[in-house]
Amino acid sequence: MINVTVYRSNNQITAFELSGHAESGPYGYDLVCAGVSAVSIGAVNAVMELCETNLEIEQGKEGGYLHVTIPASLDASVMENVQLLFEGMYISLKSIENEYSKFIKIYSK
The rounded mean pLDDT for the chain is 95
For residues 87 and 81, what is the distance between their CA atoms, to the nearest angstrom?
10
The 3-state DSSP class for residue 69 equals strand
Q: Which residue is catalytic, options 15, 21, 79, 88? A: 21
CATH, residue 32: 3.30.70.1490
Number of structural domains in the chain: 1
Active site residue 67: no
Q: Which residue is catalytic, options 2, 22, 32, 33? A: 33
For residues 18 and 65, what is the distance between their CA atoms, to the nearest angstrom?
5
Average pLDDT over residues 62-74: 92
The one-character DSSP state at 28 is T
- Residue 64, domain extent: 2-108
Active site residue 33: yes
> Closest Cα partner for 36 from 60, 66, 11?
66
The 3-state DSSP class for residue 56 equals strand
pLDDT digits (tens, 9 = 90+) for 1-53: 999 999 999 999 999 999 999 989 888 889 999 999 999 999 999 999 999 99
Average pLDDT over residues 58-65: 86
Tell me, what's the pLDDT at 26? Answer: 87
Residues 6+ positions from 6 with CB-CB distance below 8 Å: 13, 15, 16, 90, 106, 107, 108, 109
